[in-house]
Chains A and B, each alone.
Chain A
C-alpha cells in the first residue's frame, strides 16, 4: 500500500531523513520507534506533503505521491493526526470534525460522524464547545476523530498518547486497535514503545535519520538492543 524508497528530507543544513526505506501493507499497524529528534515526525510530515522531500520516492497504492500538495494526498486517502494535536482552538468540536472531511460534501458525512461518535462518545457531548477549551485527552480524541472524518485508507498517528493519563493511554491504544479492525491501515509513532509494539504488527527503528532495524513487532520487543534503548530493559 505504501512504499517508501530512499527518502531524504532536509531542513536547510539539517539532514533529517537520510534514505529511508519502508513499506506498509494493507490492514497493518506499523509502528515507528526512535528517540527524540530521530526524524519520526519528519517522516510523517514528508508522507503527508507538509515538508518537501529532497530525494527518494513515496508510492501510495502504486502512485508516486512524493512532493504532491498536501490536499491532494488527503484526497488519495492519507490522513494524519499530528504531534501536539493541532486542533483549531477557536472553532467548535463540530467545526473541527467537519474540517477533517473538508474535501467531502456535507451530505455524505453521516457515516463518518457516526463512526467518530461511536469511538469517542465524549466528542459527541461536546460538539458546540471550542476545541481550545477541551482537556488534553479530549483534544487528542478530537485530533484522531478529525483525521478519521476523511475516511482514510492510511492513518498516520504522531504520538497519540503524549501527555495523557495512564488510563487514557490504554483507552487510546484500544481505540487504535478498533480503528484498525475497521480496516484502516495505521502508521503509529509512539514514545510509549512497549504499548506500540504490543499493538503493532511490524515495527521500524529510526535513529538519526536512518532505519536501523525492522521486523515483526513481537520480534523487536525481544531484541536486546531495542529493549535497552527504548523499552527501559537491561
Chain B
C-alpha cells in the first residue's frame, strides 16, 4: 500500500505544484497573494466540461480553456487589481479584492453550471501499468509527466526568454525595469495569463484524475497549492514544485495511514512545522520586500 500512497501523493503533488507556480509568479511580480487563483482553476475545469458537453474532443476543450482561463487571469488584474495599483492603495486592499473575486467566480460558475458535483471523464486513464510490480496507474503517471513538462516549460519561459528576463527584472526592481524600456504593465498582464493558463491545465488534469467537477473545487486545492508555494519559498519556482510534492505526499500518506478525515489537515500541519523551523520556506530568501 505504501507505494500506492506515494505514487498518488507524487502525482497529485505535481498538480498542486502547477497551481502553486501561479501564486508564485504573481507574488514575484506584485508581492501579492492572488487568492482568486483557486477559483480560476475551477473556472478552467468548467470550460473543459462545457466543451465536452458540446461534444468537442477533449483536447479542443483544454486548448480553449487554457486560452480563456489565461484571459480570465488578465481580466482580474485589469479590472480589479490594476485600478488599485494606480491609486497606490494599501496591499491589503488588493488581497481582499482577490478573495472577493474568488467568490464572484465561484458564484458565477454555480449560476451557469449548477452547484452540484458533475462527473468528468478521466481522459488519460489507460488502466494500471505493471512496471516491475510497482503499483503505479497510468493516470498517475500521466498527471505526473504532464505537470512536470508544464513546470519545465514555465521555468524555461522565466529563465530563458526575453519576456522571462523582463519578469525577473520587474520582480527585482520595478522602477529600474521601467528605466530599461520594459512595458511593466504588459509584463504583469503576461504573468497573469501564464498563471491562468497553468491553472486551467491543472484544473483539467485534476478533474480527470478525480473524475469530478464542481464550482468550489478550487477552494481546498487553492489553499493547498498556496501552502505549497509558501512551503517552498514563495516566488521561487522550484520551491513550488518541492512544496507541491511535500503537500501531495503528506496528505496521501495521512489519509492512507491515519484516515481520510485527516487528509486536508496533514498538509497544513507540515506547513506550520516547516514555517516554525524556517520562516521563509524551504528555499526562501530573507527579506522579501518590494523595492
Contact = CB atoms under 8 A, between A and B. Distances in A.
Contact of B175 (A86, A102, A146): A86
Contacts of B168: 88, 90-91, 95
A34 interface: no
A89 B171 CA distance: 11
Contacts of B162: 102, 106
Contacts of A87: 173, 176
A82 interface: yes
Interface stretch (B111-119, B178-186, B209-217): B178-186
Interface residues on B, range: 10 to 19
Interface in A64-93: 69-71, 74-75, 79-80, 82, 86-91
B166 A88 contact: no
Interface residues of A, number: 27
Interface in B174-229: 175-184
A100 B165 CA distance: 11
A82 B180 CA distance: 11
B172 interface: yes
A106 B162 CA distance: 9
A114 B183 CA distance: 26
B165 A71 contact: no
A48 B179 contact: yes
B169 interface: yes
B282 to A, nearest CB: 18
B178 A146 contact: no
B176 A74 contact: no
Nearest to A99: B180
A89 to B, nearest CB: 6
B182 A102 contact: yes
A118 interface: no
A47 B166 CA distance: 22
Contacts of B176: 82, 86-88
A87 B173 CA distance: 8
Given A88-B172, A89-B172, A91-B172, A98 B165 contact: yes
Nearest to B291: A86
B169 A70 contact: no
Contact of B181 (A75, A86, A89, A106): A75
Majority SS of interface residues in chain B? helix
B172 A102 contact: no
A21 to B, nearest CB: 25
Interface string A102-125: 110010000000000000000000
A39 interface: no
A199 to B, nearest CB: 23
Identify the interface centre among B172, B173, B176: most chain A CB within 10 Å of its CB. Answer: B176
Given A95-B165, A99-B165, A102-B166, A90 B181 contact: no
A7 interface: no
Contact of A82 (B165, B172, B175, B181): B175
B172 A70 contact: no
A102 B180 contact: yes
A74 B181 CA distance: 5
Contact of B179 (A75, A80, A89, A98): A80
A147 B181 CA distance: 10
A70 B178 contact: yes
A150 interface: yes
A146 B182 CA distance: 13
A91 B175 contact: no
Interface in B226-285: none
A160 interface: no
Contacts of A71: 178, 181-184
B183 A74 contact: no
From A80, A82, A102, A106, name the one whose CB has the most chain B CB atoms within 10 angstroms. A102
30 contacts: A48-B179, A50-B175, A50-B178, A50-B179, A69-B183, A70-B179, A70-B181, A71-B181, A71-B182, A71-B183, A74-B179, A74-B180, A75-B181, A86-B175, A86-B179, A87-B173, A88-B169, A88-B172, A90-B168, A95-B165, A99-B169, A99-B177, A99-B180, A99-B182, A100-B180, A102-B162, A102-B169, A102-B182, A103-B181, A150-B180
Please list the 10 inter-chain residue pairs (A to B) with the smallest Cβ-Cβ separation, ordered nearest first. Answer: A74-B181, A70-B178, A86-B176, A103-B181, A88-B172, A99-B180, A71-B183, A102-B180, A71-B181, A102-B181
Given A87-B173, A90-B172, 17 more contacts: A49-B178, A50-B178, A70-B181, A79-B179, A82-B179, A86-B173, A87-B176, A88-B169, A88-B176, A89-B172, A91-B169, A98-B165, A99-B165, A99-B182, A102-B169, A102-B180, A103-B181
